[in-house]
Amino acid sequence: MSDIVTFGETMLRLSPPGNERLESATELEVRVGGAESNVAIAASRLGATAAWLSKVPESPLGRRVVSELRSYGIEADVVWSRHGRQGTYYLENAGEPRGSNVVYDRENSAVSTAKAQEFDIERIQNARVFFTTGITPALSTTLRETTANMLKAARQGGTTTAFDFNYRRKLWSPEEARETLTQLFPGIDVLVIAARDARTVLGIEGDPRQLAHRLGSQFDFTTVVVTRGSEGAVGWHDSVVHEQGAYETDTVSPVGTGDAFTGAFLARRLDGDDVPTALEYAAAMAALKRTIPGDAALVTRDELEAVVAEDGQQISR
């Protein structure tokens, strides 16, 4: 039995060194990344047992993804497929004003055909938390149904369901995302949503405390966490709103910051923390992730404790 089971696509990530442009790069660094496995890794770094479910091509590329994730200590419980490809993304890194650029090459990936019945659903039903994101249903109509079925199965088994809204504008329009994701809301206990996504996709503007409260009461979530990047996060639970500032950090790589935050939040909640304490650890984990290249938050518990203990580093609360 795992504390947390996640489901989604993990891609190969190819990035030119430094600030090189993709169109002229002569080398590409290979890593792996995907929101749901990033969350599993972050949670496992804090002591949770974590499994990632997916469908992966039986190919050297698929094996690369799975073996790398296993090397980070999470269980990769995958359906190996003879059809479909390994999803890939290219990442150009640059400072402002260019910013970083993501190019997806993930159509017809093996996971896009994954059905709930291909997996051991008891794994989800025996877990304490089942987690997926709004990226998964954006990948195919099959995955829309699979995501809904997995959330339903989790609930039937008494497993807490957690979901990061994670709107990806390169995968679908705000209207499509709103229509699909709000249909999933009744099956979700813990919602994590960026204030930016609430604005773009749900059309909800304004104060993040009111936003968290409004989402929480309107859709019957147990917990809502609204993330605000460098402005921190707001958590709504038991009708009470808690505010958490962001920790100062020297950013080496922002990719995966939100996943590090969510993985830590879930792991600390599973450990018995109340929402404000879990938010504090999540914010510290997010800051530490930004100092680490790659998608995964390869943070130690001692590092996290040290950052939280140095309370003076917080820029706002």
**Which residue is catalytic, options 259, 271, 274, 311?**
259
Q: Please identify, using beta-carbon distances, which residue of 137 and 258 lies nearer to ligand KDG.
A: 258
Kindly report each contact of residues 152-157 with a partner whose C-beta sits within 8 Å and lies 24 or more positions away, as own/partner: 152/187, 153/116, 153/121, 153/124, 153/125, 154/124, 154/125, 154/127, 154/130, 154/187, 155/187, 156/125, 157/121, 157/122, 157/124, 157/125, 157/126
168 binds ligand KDG (CB under 6 A): yes
Q: How far is the CB of 99 from ligand KDG (least distance, A)?
A: 14
What is the token pair recorded at 145? 């149904």
**Interactions with ligand KDG, residue window 210-269 (CB under 6 A):** 255-256, 258-259
Q: How many CB atoms lie within 10 A of CB 197?
A: 23
For residues 53 and 5, the answer to whether their CB atoms sit within 8 Å is yes
Q: How far is the CB of 311 from ligand KDG (least distance, A)?
A: 28
Q: Please identify, using beta-carbon distances, which residue of 135 and 283 lies nearer to ligand KDG.
A: 135
CB within 8 Å of 219: residues ≥ 6 apart: 182, 185, 186, 188, 191
Q: Please identify, using beta-carbon distances, which residue of 103 and 309 lies nearer to ligand KDG.
A: 103
135 binds ligand KDG (CB under 6 A): yes
> What would the x/- binding string for ligand KDG be over residues 278 to 307, using CB under 6 A?
-----------------x------------
Q: Please identify, using beta-carbon distances, which residue of 241 and 266 lies nearer to ligand KDG.
A: 266
What is the token pair recorded at 233? 């996060």
Q: How far is the CB of 295 from ligand KDG (least distance, A)?
A: 4
Q: How many CB atoms lie within 10 A of CB 199?
A: 14
Q: How far is the CB of 36 from ligand KDG (least distance, A)?
A: 7
Q: Residue 269 corresponds to which amino acid?
A: R
Q: Please identify, using beta-carbon distances, which residue of 241 and 296 lies nearer to ligand KDG.
A: 296
Binding window for ligand KDG (CB under 6 A); candidates: 34-42, 184-192, 237-245, 304-312: 34-42
Q: How far is the CB of 233 from ligand KDG (least distance, A)?
A: 15
In order, the DSSP letters of 240-287 are EEEEEPPBP---S--TTHHHHHHHHHHHHHHTT--HHHHHHHHHHHHH
* Run of H or E including 298: none
Q: Is 120 a catalytic residue?
A: no
Instruction: Select from 3, 15, 34, 233 the one that contacts ligand KDG (CB under 6 A).
Output: 34
CA 281/CA 278 separation, integer angstroms:
5
- Cite the DSSP H helix spans in the chain: 35-45, 60-71, 121-125, 141-156, 174-184, 195-200, 208-219, 257-270, 275-289, 301-309
- Total residues binding ligand KDG (CB under 6 A): 11
Instruction: Select from 35, 110, 127, 307 the one that contacts ligand KDG (CB under 6 A).
Output: 35
Q: Residue 227 corresponds to which amino acid?
A: T
68 binds ligand KDG (CB under 6 A): no
CB closest to ligand KDG, residue no: 33
33 binds ligand KDG (CB under 6 A): yes
Q: How far is the CB of 34 from ligand KDG (least distance, A)?
A: 4
Q: Please identify, using beta-carbon distances, which residue of 53 and 255 lies nearer to ligand KDG.
A: 255
For residues 215 and 193, the answer to whether their CB atoms sit within 8 Å is yes
| Chain positions contacting ligand KDG, by CB under 6 A | 33-35, 38, 135, 168, 255-256, 258-259, 295
- Any idea which residues carry the catalytic annotation? 259
